[in-house]
Structure 1
Amino acid sequence: MNADNQNVRFDPELIRRYDRAGPRYTSYPTAVQFHEGFGEEDYRAAAARSNAGGRALSLYFHLPFCDTVCYYCACNKIVTKDRSRAAPYLQRLHRELAMQGELFDARRKVEQLHWGGGTPTFLSHAEMSELVDVTGRHFELVEDGEYSIEIDPREVDGETVGLLRRLGFNRLSLGVQDFDARVQKAVNRIQGEAETLGVIDAARGAGFRSVSVDLIYGLPHQSVASFAATVDKIIAAAPDRLSVFNYAHLPERFKPQRRIAAANLPSAAQKLAILEDTIGRLTAAGYVYIGMDHFARPDDELAVAQREGTLYRNFQGYSTHADCDLVAVGVTSIGMIADTYSQNVRTEAEYFERVDAGRLPVFRGVRLSADDRLRRAVITDLICHFRVDYARIKAAYGVVFEDYFAAELAVLESMQNDGLLRLEASGITVAPAGRLLIRNICMVFDRYLSEVKGGYSKVI
């Protein structure tokens, strides 16, 4: 399954027409379908089933602490300047790791590990070192695995970057959002260019395999010209990957966003202009459009995986590890084991209570039906490869695509008429004008969508 991923076309009129809210499809079914009828025993049963398959493992750690609050943030976090707050949380994280480790066959190796947050580098050097050590006691980490960490450039220096590399991390993701001083002040994230670019240089010097940068468009006071200045500086720094996220202003759901004045946000037309200019600059600089918000250099593993048809998508975004079970630890983290998704409790107090009682902190989840697995495969093919091959689906799931999805194909005809995709005898191919609107196309195959009332961000 191959696609010319640099061939993405920005069509403002189409984007305006299709700009509705919808899931990001980091899973299917999405988290909205998770329910509390799925609990600890269901998770244990899923782990036992997964051992029979013997797939490799991926580990995700949610480290929720932040020193200061960024007003745009919609993450689950604990904002505190008290660094001692991390110690009791880590004690429980170590215990959860031990409980999780008992569930999985010791011969199953960890090929991928990710620390997310919050701000993982909120932890002290000793705490980070101990967490890696404890992980190694309960899971077997392969030497050449993909081990990544999200960092805040304001939290680290060259010494910290060197430590992370010695601990085994080889991929680094850092938030920039915007270098413009006025924008930074409005969102309470004051971050100098020198410290940010210094971290990128330090990562390269320490031998990190990949550096990824996050930007956000749609923040207060942004304009095409101001954001272009940030994009050009990032292009000059030449990260391996970039994520360019759309800021979703949902102050009714995320309290910190109430400190952002809606009057200072760029208009919908301005946001589209910023996005168009950004895509033009990145593709002109040689970056490949992977999909959704993501760009990568042509030799990056994401771009290679997409060309080879092995790209995958999970709760951390695009991934090259489709053949792993995902074990997630920490508050609110989401795992994917066998044919299930599961989520840990959302608050620190609940997390402590469950772990202290010797219980896994899983509080909800879902076991996928045959229909769920089929639709997940279709959505994954679309969102990762811009193509669905009917013969491949039939071989894997035993259904005649044109019959099973007759109603969905009828809906797609209008999208074909608008130039978003092509319906062919062998499958569905997303056209260049449809790639920015891939979420809309995926939504046609989401049988739960009509049951959900709001709560999603706009697709662009």
Structure 2
Amino acid sequence: MNDSQSRIFDPELIKRFDVSGPRYTSYPTADRFHEAFEPAGLVRALRDRKSNERPISLYFHIPFCDTVCYYCACNKVITKDRGRADRYLDYLSREMALVARELSGSRSVAQLHLGGGTPTFLTDAQIRRLFAQINEHFTLVEDGEYSVELDPRRVSRETIALLAELGLNRMSVGVQDFDSRVQKAVNRIQSVEETAAVIQAARDHGFRSVSMDLIYGLPLQTLDSVSATLDAVLDIAPDRIALYNYAHLPTRFMPQRRIKEEELPSADDKLRILGMSIDRLERAGYVYIGMDHFARPDDEMAIAQREGRLHRNFQGYSTHAGCDLLAFGVSAIGMTDGLYTQNVKTLDAYYAALDTDTLPVVRGYQMDQDDRLRYAVIQALMCDFALSLTEVEKQWGLAFSEYFARELEALRGMAAAGLCELTPDEIRVTERGRLLVRVIAMVFDRHLHEHRTAAKYSKVI
């Protein structure tokens, strides 16, 4: 084992602490949202925004895909009919108008993300129409972070030029694996050449950051096959790389039932693949950001982490903290002044709500003071790998050792195992503990310890 592996990748520590747990794109996690939530609650939050002079963040869920990837756990609609998106855009426009009508304060947008599904399922004309709707209600600031997820099999160089023209400047490119046998097993056939061409087009049109998504633990993957995929990825040299753990949950996600369980790597093989991948990425100069993410040292995400400005929300890591997140489309989750809301999950329910001039909210959760405190603690651990206890005490007016006595007791065992270091002034995640930061964050999750949930979390590794 080389030096980079010994600092971050400790297989024995991982085996000991590889439990199932939340990803903490929110706290409390989405499984704690109340099902009987009234849309009027979001209306009140929009009208009474305390942070109404701050820029906002926008998320748009575009659910359509023209083929199904068997590993996918996203909320999606499989269709080859691009015309179905026209009706969806009609209703996105209605939802934006309802939100804008109630929204107090700033309409300036510092962050925007198009997710799915496949956002580039939309035709160029539909993309132009969506941005005309967005610009009707909101103002995209000049130095904002505007990103799009795309499938390189379904996008032309002309579409990349259009996205840049409309202001998008960051891109997440789905890859998962370049091995032909693995691609066939998950129903996603995609060449290195078409992927590289899309990324080159993005660079040619001024995109400031390009990320590639990979998955380990897919059927038929081996050390050699994943190493060959990494060879191709590192030749393309994206600014960021997301290396996700495949969670096989066929009882929850129907497409996964088409994956043959006997073809999945064993737990030991999966761990070896992860260790090799981390080693390869670090030797290539990528910085481990946290969770599944790596970035070049000069990328904004790595810089934000060094400067203590990194943030985590439903889109993953972000350089914009403190923005209210307004979310549009089926299943989209937003947060306004500590109020989480989630939209209905089906197109029929979405259309039916908006036909009555009602926001299509189906679930929500209002954070209390304890939630806000724990949210801040978990954010610091997940983003900075460190927490200043004196800063928490100063900001929240409490004695940390008293308020979190139970949590500190649990952390002492983790510190003894090498996950973290405890001093009277600080909790610091060790290099070896960084891959397991979710386990440390779970210690501070009051809901996880006090209230049962029907949710089935993925394994940490």
Give the Cα–Cα distance (whole angstroms) in 1 for the partners of residues 48 and 375 of structure 2.
20
Counterpart for residue 422 of structure 2? 423
1:152 aligned to 2:151?
yes
Contact 1:6 1:288 survives alignment (8 Å): no
Q: Per-residue CA shift, 1:71-120, capped at 9, x if unaligned? A: 00000000011111111111101111111111223643101111000000
How far is the alpha carbon of 1:49 from its aligned partner? 2.4
Describe the SS at the equivalent of 1:270: helix
Give the Cα–Cα distance (whole angstroms) in 2 for the partners of residues 371 and 422 of structure 1.
24
The amino acid of 1:23's aligned partner reads P
Contact 1:8 1:435 survives alignment (8 Å): no
Give the Cα–Cα distance (whole angstroms) in 2 for the partners of residues 46 and 25 of structure 1.
23
Contact 2:46 2:99 survives alignment (8 Å): no
Counterpart for residue 140 of structure 1? 139
Mapping for residues 68-87 of structure 1, pairs under 5 Å: 68-87=67-86
1:278 aligned to 2:284?
no
Counterpart for residue 13 of structure 2? 14
Counterpart for residue 110 of structure 2? 111
How far is the alpha carbon of 1:256 from its aligned partner? 0.2
How far is the alpha carbon of 1:15 from its aligned partner? 0.5
Describe the SS at the equivalent of 1:219: coil
What runs of 5+ residues in structure 2 fail to find an aligned partner?
none
Q: Per-residue CA shift, 1:296-326, capped at 9, x if unaligned? A: 0111111111111111000000001112100
How far is the alpha carbon of 1:51 from its aligned partner? 5.3
Counterpart for residue 300 of structure 1? 299
Mapping for residues 389-404 of structure 1, pairs under 5 Å: 389-404=388-403
Give the Cα–Cα distance (whole angstroms) in 2 for the partners of residues 52 and 400 of structure 1.
27
How far is the alpha carbon of 1:356 from its aligned partner? 1.1
Q: Identity of paired residues, percent?
A: 57
Counterpart for residue 290 of structure 2? 291
Counterpart for residue 371 of structure 1? 370
Counterpart for residue 94 of structure 2? 95
Give the Cα–Cα distance (whole angstroms) in 1 for the partners of residues 37 and 309 of structure 2.
30
Give the Cα–Cα distance (whole angstroms) in 1 for the partners of residues 120 and 52 of structure 2.
35
Q: Per-residue CA shift, 1:380-423, capped at 9, x if unaligned? A: 10010111101111122111111100011001111011011111
Counterpart for residue 459 of structure 2? 458
The amino acid of 1:190's aligned partner reads I
Give the Cα–Cα distance (whole angstroms) in 2 for the partners of residues 286 and 399 of structure 1.
41
Provide the TM-score with structure 2 as the length reference. 0.97
Describe the SS at the equivalent of 2:83: helix
How far is the alpha carbon of 1:140 from its aligned partner? 1.3
1:237 aligned to 2:236?
yes
Counterpart for residue 227 of structure 2? 228
Counterpart for residue 53 of structure 2? 54
How far is the alpha carbon of 1:7 from its aligned partner? 9.1
Contact 1:106 1:139 survives alignment (8 Å): no
The amino acid of 1:402's aligned partner reads S
Mapping for residues 158-177 of structure 1, pairs under 5 Å: 158-177=157-176
Contact 2:56 2:106 survives alignment (8 Å): no
The amino acid of 2:73's aligned partner reads A
The amino acid of 1:445's aligned partner reads F
* Backbone CA RMSD of aligned residues: 1.3
Counterpart for residue 62 of structure 2? 63
Give the Cα–Cα distance (whole angstroms) in 2 for the partners of residues 454 and 322 of structure 1.
27
Give the Cα–Cα distance (whole angstroms) in 2 for the partners of residues 275 and 295 of structure 1.
13
1:258 aligned to 2:266?
no
Counterpart for residue 383 of structure 1? 382
Contact 1:339 1:368 survives alignment (8 Å): yes
Moved more, 6-15 or 432-441: 6-15
Q: Per-residue CA shift, 1:147-204, capped at 9, x if unaligned? A: 1100000001111111111111111111000000000000000001110011011111
Give the Cα–Cα distance (whole angstroms) in 2 for the partners of residues 214 and 8 of structure 1.
24
Give the Cα–Cα distance (whole angstroms) in 2 for the partners of residues 403 and 84 of structure 1.
59
Counterpart for residue 217 of structure 1? 216
Describe the SS at the equivalent of 2:160: helix
Counterpart for residue 188 of structure 1? 187
How far is the alpha carbon of 1:17 from its aligned partner? 1.1
The amino acid of 1:159's aligned partner reads E
How far is the alpha carbon of 1:453 from its aligned partner? 4.6
Describe the SS at the equivalent of 2:445: coil
Contact 2:152 2:194 survives alignment (8 Å): yes
Give the Cα–Cα distance (whole angstroms) in 1 for the partners of residues 82 and 308 of structure 2.
44
The amino acid of 1:164's aligned partner reads L
Contact 2:62 2:329 survives alignment (8 Å): yes
Contact 1:326 1:337 survives alignment (8 Å): yes
Give the Cα–Cα distance (whole angstroms) in 1 for the partners of residues 14 and 200 of structure 2.
37
Describe the SS at the equivalent of 1:82: coil
Q: Per-residue CA shift, 1:400-447, capped at 9, x if unaligned? A: 111100011001111011011111011101111110000111111111
Contact 2:49 2:104 survives alignment (8 Å): no
